[in-house]
Chain A
Amino acid sequence: MNTAEATTWYFKKAARIMDVGERIETLLLSPLREITLQVSIELDNGEIRTFPGYRVQHDNSRGPMKGGVRYHPALDIDEARGLASLMTWKTAVVNVPFGGAKGGIAVEPSRLSGKELERLTRKFVDQTQDILGPTRDVPGPDMNTNPQVMAWIMDQYSKYHGHSPAVVTGKPLDLYGSKGRDAATGRGLVFICKQILGDINLPLKGTRFAVQGFGNVGSRAVRLLHEEGAVLVAVADSNGGVKNPRGIDVPALFEHAKKNGGLQGFDGGSPCTGDEVLTADCDVLLPAAIGGTLTRANAAHVRAKIVLEGANGPCTPEADEIFEKKGVLVVPDILANAGGVTVSYFEWVQNLQHVTWEEERVNAELEKAMKDAYERVAQISRNRKLPLRTAAYCLAIGRVGKATVLRGI
């Protein structure tokens, strides 16, 4: 089951517990609109290539639809549909006034030159600009897209509609981006981590944690957790990593990664793979690589008390069930990694108002949003005796449902 399918599965689990009925389920799950495009460009060598492009707009009952644009060869309409709905639930859980969307192009961007990537991006905007917009659908970065791609999207859209920085988020800081956006997902994870540790009376200082993945999310979380006094005992990226039960020297680790472009070969402990990180002896496990890494095969061997989903969909539903039985607390992706979309919302707000917030303000507002979201989810979990994920989906269904009913079907 991929992340998109798992999202539908989790949604249905919550919807059945709430007993909303089949027709309400269909109403909430069905996308508002989905489009398939053929995006054609001329390569640098004069060859013409055509790539399939997608945009699924899932729900706009709570606001303009929000979701990433990814460039990945495996992207298809089913994947986009599932991830668009994931965005609807995520924005609802953190209570930012957005709906959900997702899309992108089925392409391997590493095979394209910078100029080709720019042409492809601009062509994609040409073909979607009539359904995008600051009050319609606001894209953001996703797999293999970055602030530069967002800048091209803003520029191309503005050619049609006039100066429109709020049409896209995750832009470069020098082009209407928000301070604190880069670190937002990692920082959000740390806020949630503090909250849940507090609930089981553990201080963050001295807590042993393991991280799978050392990209934007994983590396930011490692740095911030280390600053709070937590002890990193295992970490790996796709090429390898290190474990050390007495604690890894985090500043030295960053230095090594900077110098070598990865974690492999760091000598501050014994070598370990990404899979071994998942079963390391620790208090908090942070899977922040790709989806589907915690499965029926390895979930029983996880030794952490808490799993914080930094990636989207790292736990398969089978793993999720094993954790529930074992009493491992799983903080679901739609709550744990929602810091990114929350600061995207702040970026959109700043763009609409033509103001710039200081980083302190961004971080303070982020902390409040994450704490509030965690509190509401934890409250539902306690009152209804539900795992955090189901509680989060229930909250999302509640918020989206209320908006849908109030606006009228």
Chain B
Amino acid sequence: MSNATELVQKLSQLPICRGLTQGEAGVLFEIAEETTAPKDAKLFTEGDPGNTLLIILEGQVEVTKQGQSLAKVGQGSVLGEMSLLGAGGTRSATATALTDLKLLRVQAARFQKLVHDDNLAALKIVANLAQVMSRRLLMMDEKLIELLDEKSKKKQELADFQRILSDWSF
């Protein structure tokens, strides 16, 4: 078992813990449980109910969707943060251990209880999550517009020309 103080310190450096005091990070640590996973283990699979947050303490994880690799993440990265918001949804992607892993697991239900009790640490984390999410959403929007633009441009020039030719009824 790792040194608890050290872990709390590491936790307070995570993006979702930004602005938390060491004491507030300790609150998150209290509801978390340390766990391990061997190489090649599936941490969760696309479509599973999403009810835990995973924090990678050691090792590497690959995130895939429909067989396509989306990202490789390592120490300090957080998986399944959406579940903390109580969306009650399912996993949007699959996470597979690329190496042996050390993880912190947080039960969403326990976190949501803290939110419900107006725990300052939990509320700060929710605010941080909202920021992370909105940044991601923005990036996705931009990517989407880029893709739509590219597609429509390619099709439009010939189609426009054909329309002009038929308008002029040559």
Contact = CB atoms under 8 A, between A and B. Distances in A.
Contacts of A19: 164
A395 B165 CA distance: 10
A231 B164 CA distance: 44
Interface stretch (B80-88, B114-122, B153-161): B153-161
B157 A402 contact: no
Contact of B157 (A18, A23, A394, A395): A23
Contact of A398 (B158, B160, B170): B170
A296 to B, nearest CB: 31
Contact of B168 (A18, A405, A409): A18
A23 B164 CA distance: 14
Which 6 pairs across A and B sit closest by C-beta, in order of nearness? A398-B170, A24-B161, A401-B165, A402-B165, A18-B164, A398-B168
Contacts of B158: 405, 409
A385 B165 CA distance: 17
Given A18-B164, A402-B170, 9 more contacts: A18-B168, A21-B160, A394-B168, A395-B170, A398-B165, A398-B170, A399-B170, A401-B161, A405-B161
Interface residues of A, number: 15
19 contacts: A18-B164, A20-B160, A20-B164, A21-B157, A21-B161, A23-B157, A24-B161, A380-B168, A395-B170, A398-B165, A398-B168, A399-B170, A401-B165, A401-B170, A402-B165, A402-B170, A405-B158, A405-B161, A409-B158
B69 interface: no
Interface in A362-403: 380, 394-395, 398-399, 401-402
Nearest to B170: A398
A23 B165 CA distance: 15
A72 B12 CA distance: 84
Interface of B: 157-158, 160-162, 164-165, 168, 170
A380 B168 CA distance: 8
A20 B160 CA distance: 8
Given A395-B170, A399-B170, A405 B160 contact: no
Contacts of B164: 18-20
A20 B161 CA distance: 6
Nearest to B160: A21
A367 B81 CA distance: 81
A24 B170 contact: no
Residue among B160, B161, B164, B165 with most chain A CB within 10 A: B161
A18 B168 CA distance: 8
B127 to A, nearest CB: 49
A21 B160 CA distance: 9
B141 to A, nearest CB: 28
A140 to B, nearest CB: 26
Contacts of A21: 157, 160-161
Nearest to A384: B168
Contacts of A380: 168
Nearest to A399: B170
Contacts of B168: 18, 380, 394, 398
B89 to A, nearest CB: 45
Nearest to A396: B170
Given A18-B168, A395-B170, A405 B157 contact: no
Nearest to A23: B157
Contact of B162 (A18, A395, A405): A405
Contacts of A409: 158
Interface string A1-28: 0000000000000000011110110000
A405 B165 contact: yes
Nearest to A92: B170
Contacts of B170: 395, 398-399, 401-402
Interface string A61-98: 00000000000000000000000000000000000000
A380 B157 CA distance: 24
B124 to A, nearest CB: 53
